[in-house]
With several copies, the nearest count.
Chain A
Amino acid sequence: MTAWHVHVYIQLKDGVLDTQGKAVERSLHSLGHDSLQAVKIGKYVQLWINADSEQSARQQAVRMCDDLLVNGIIEQFSVEVEGE
């Protein structure tokens, strides 16, 4: 059993209006960051999981996403696994 460090990136699906992103975009513009084209705000979840293999760690992480971490109606996610 090894401990795996899993990174989960969650973002709103395309087409779902990201009001926080829009608000941050406006604030950054008003601070003079003119080269900024767009902002999108999501979640960065780190999980430390005990598992026999990288694959099993990934599977478990995906299951946690489905069970709780991600709302599939509005969100999408990707997973990266790192050994420890």
Chain B
Amino acid sequence: MDFRRYGIREEEYLAAREALGREPNECELRILGVMWSEHCSYKSTKHLLKLFPNKGDKVVLGPGENAGIVDLGDGLGAAFKVESHNHPSAVAPYQGAATGVGGIIRDILALGARPVASMDGLFFGAPGHGKTAMLSSGIVRGVGDYGNAVGVPTVGGKTVYDPSYNENPLLNAFNLGLVRLDEIVSSQTAKPGQLVVLLGSKTGRDGIAGAAFASVELSDDAKADRPSIQIGDPFAEKLLIEACLELQAKRLIVSMQDMGAAGITSSSSEVAAKSGVGMVLAFDKVPLRAADMEPWEIALSESQERMLLIVEPRHLEEVMAVAERWELDCAVIGETTEGDGYSILFHGEEVASFPASLVGDGCPPIHWPARKPDNLEKGWELDVETLPLPEDWNETLLSLLSEPSLASKEWIYDQYDSMVQTNTVRGPGHPVSVLRIKGRETLVAMVLDADPWKCALDPFRGGAEAVARTVRALAVAGAEPLGLTDCLNFPSPENPEQYWVMMECIKGMAACCEALQCPVVSGNVSLYNESAAGAILPTPVIGTVGVIPSVGQFLPSGRWHDGDVLFQVGPCIPSLAGSQYLLMREGRNRGRPLEFLPDVEAGFVRRALKTARDGVASSGRAVAGGGLAVAIAREATESGLGAVVSFEIPTRRDVLLFGEGGARALYSVPMAKVPLFKSLWRGFPLLELGRVQGAELEINGVISVPVDTLPSPRRIR
């Protein structure tokens, strides 16, 4: 048997043969080849993911389900997850991105949650590079067209430009849905004697073996053996959402599972394995778009906009009626049985048969060797004193604000409907995105962030910093972090140094989650992000969700008032390591990011939350990319006010103004509340920066610019 043709490794083949007690046939091998691909099986990372803390008071559903769920209070939960669609987006940017958005929405829907908000993480190559314009415009249009049509607002995101993504852009799609805790639909509750129902679009030859495709490096001449790409139909998805939620409200489904990678096989075997039942499927019952499809093609088709339902026979008629009303195809394709046998029939003949647990859990894990990169320490060398100070500070600040990764992303998010569903309190363009929940006081806040440059320099510290950035932003806004989801975008794990970097990143992220009691409730892994041109930067993307008890306890950004006192809270000495400033000046990423300080981070979050809740500040913003100077400039432009800032400098001016890292935030505080503010931050480094006044931004005598000349996102009124 030539198992390698199907992407199966020898030990995997042997494991399969042993579990079956016979030679697997071709159809089975094809199925295993896809189901045991990295994308579906997590065989290289499963054991690493165990390092993440995933328990907590507020965790309703942790990793292992379609998405995680956290408790928002009063019987309501937020289901959320982020997922990659990197490889498809590299090959067919528009369709790849669109189907990425559609896919994550179905993950959320599978829990019975109504999808209410999306965010997108975009990682593009250098702006001037040949393909970047085409890839970025296609991906952005794809995200927009799908999300807009399906009626789920895109409320925020993250966009990074770096040459390492030239050939291998990343698209990570995040979605969040709301569900009553007593109405969560599980994929683990099927019982023998129930019907397996396929709802949604017809099955065609789209994206067959797409999951396996996502598990190899991109090669230049991939054109020939490219799987036919999936086409998204947001119109069908919108109908599918409404139909599934209606089925759930009428309690007509026992269990539900979206069809993502590896289509019918993946979804049905997962339900069978998790529920502990067997399943018999008759593939001739599957509504097909192309008449002559072979069973393995039906098994692995990644046609979009389909859901798998488990239904009690007595409810079938009602289920069909709902499907008809929404003009969706709906067919019984099999039934659940006692035991754990999973078998596929085609025209009465058995074409594949194995224990249900084999496809999901049977793949032997791979422990790739890890080795600390030889040149890691070399990259830390950075003697700041040898760097010349900027000659023109105004110009430096202005250029920094125009750096692609820091510049306004308006051209992107203006293409996204960020307001549909009328819940968006703060949409894209703000440090955190905030939604209200109709009929309740509570607000949900969310952030998506990443810091690949620091992860590249020191993966442990960078991983911790990336997580910390999201939590700091939430805390400053007054949102108590409830949990996070992550997408681990990395190059091939088969390279020991790259594997080590990934492992350290995960450890760093885990350490920060632990320190801030922010558990990981869901996530996704995307490996093999490299091409002949090289590997991407290590890019863990973090999406963190928090809750604000009421509007009154939300602290906005960009709301300076004339006469307010400006403070920086947090350790005063940041670092130029991996900073946008250094990247801009030198075109090269170097230095050692700051050490991760768990107690300081926790202390920051505690005080920031209290600052927002007690209403002692007019405006607040965590300091992140571009450092303090960029944070000040953003607050000024958004507020439409200037400031005079002048303070003692404990280190080099550029380090303090443009350095990054650590738990820091910028607050503007009304004069009358200054004593309260100070007492709140007692025991934490606090630096008075100056005053909000006038229309000029003046910083320590070196920067002096009229605020209305700073690049700023649009302000209508």
CB-nearest residue of chain B to A19: B233
Which residues of chain B have C-beta atoms less than 8 A from A23's C-beta?
A: 235
Q: Binary interface profile of B, 319-338, with partner A (CB < 8 Å = 1, else 0)?
A: 00000000100000000000
| B95 close to chain A: CB less than 8 A | yes
CB nearest to B134 among chain A residues: A68
Q: Which of A17, A71, A74 has the most CB of B within 10 A?
A: A17
Inside 8 A of B228's CB, which chain A residues have their CB? Answer: 13, 15-16, 73-74
Any A CB within 8 A of the CB of B602: no
| A17→B229 contact, CB < 8 A | no
- Which residues of the other chain, B, contact A19 by a CB distance below 8 angstroms? 231, 233, 235-236
State which residues 655-680 of B face A: CB under 8 Å: none
Number of interface residues of B (CB under 8 A): 21
**CB 8 Å contact bits of A3-24 with B (1 = contact, 0 = none):** 0000000000101110100010
A-B contact pairs, 21 of them (CB 8 A): A15-B204, A15-B205, A15-B228, A15-B289, A16-B204, A16-B206, A17-B233, A17-B289, A17-B303, A19-B231, A19-B235, A19-B236, A26-B327, A71-B92, A71-B94, A73-B91, A73-B92, A73-B229, A74-B95, A74-B229, A74-B231
Alpha-carbon separation in the docked complex, A26 to B328 (Å): 12
What's the nearest-Cβ distance from chain B to residue A7, in Å?
A: 23
Residue of B nearest to A67 (CB): B134
The distance in angstroms between the C-alpha atoms of A17 and B232, with both chains bound, is: 9
CB-CB under 8 A for A17 and B204, given A73-B226, A74-B231: yes
* Nearest CB of B to A43, in Å: 14
- Given pairs A19-B236, A73-B91, A74-B229, 18 additional interface contacts (CB within 8 A): A13-B228, A15-B228, A15-B290, A16-B228, A16-B231, A17-B201, A17-B206, A17-B233, A17-B304, A19-B233, A23-B235, A71-B94, A73-B92, A73-B223, A73-B229, A74-B92, A74-B95, A74-B231
B117 to chain A, nearest CB (A): 25
Chain B residues, CB < 8 A from A71: 92, 94
Minimal Cβ-Cβ distance residue in B for A30: B133
In the complex, what residues of B have CB within 8 A of residue A26's CB?
Answer: 327
Q: Which residues of A pack against B, CB within 8 Å?
A: 13, 15-17, 19, 23, 26, 71-74
**B interface: dominant SS:** loop
Q: Report the bound CA distance from A13 to B228 in whole Å.
A: 10
Chain B contacts for A17, CB-based, 8 A = 201, 204, 206, 231, 233, 289, 303-304
Give Cα A26 to B236, complex, Å. Answer: 13
Give the CA-CA distance A19 to B290 in the complex, in Å. 15
CA distance A17 to B206 in the complex (A): 8
With A and B bound together, what is the CA distance between A74 and B229 in angstroms? 7
Contact residues in A for B236 (Cβ distance below 8 Å): 19
10 A-B pairs with least C-beta separation: A19-B233, A17-B231, A15-B205, A73-B92, A73-B229, A15-B290, A17-B204, A16-B231, A74-B229, A73-B226
Q: In whole angstroms, how far apart are the Cα atoms of A60 and B187 in the complex?
A: 49
CB neighbors of A among B181-240 (8 A): 201, 204-206, 223, 226, 228-229, 231, 233, 235-236
- Residues in B whose Cβ lies below 8 Å from that of A72: 223
* Whole-angstrom CA separation of A16 from B301 in the bound complex: 12
B445 vs chain A, min Cβ distance (A): 35
Write the chain B residue with the least CB distance to A22.
B233
CA–CA, A74 to B233, complex, Å? 14
Whole-angstrom CA separation of A23 from B233 in the bound complex: 11
Q: How far is the CB of B145 from the nearest CB of chain A, in Å?
A: 11
Residue in chain B with minimal CB distance to A13 = B228
| A60 CB, min distance to chain B CBs, angstroms | 19
Q: For B201, what are the chain A residues with a Cβ–Cβ distance below 8 Å?
A: 17
Please report the C-alpha to C-alpha distance between residue A70 and residue B327 in the assembled complex, in whole angstroms.
Answer: 25
Give the residues from 324 to 363 in chain B that come closer than 8 angstroms, CB to CB, to chain A. Answer: 327
Docked pose: A17 CA to B303 CA in angstroms? 9
B208 CB, nearest partner CB in chain A, Å: 11
Q: Please indicate the chain B residues that have their CB under 8 angstroms from the CB of A74 in the complex.
A: 92, 95, 228-229, 231
Write the nearest CB–CB distance from B71 to chain A, whole angstroms. 38
Distance in angstroms from A42 CB to nearest chain B CB is: 14
* Whole-angstrom CA separation of A26 from B228 in the bound complex: 25
Kindly state the separation between the CA atoms of A71 and B92 in the bound complex, as whole angstroms.
8
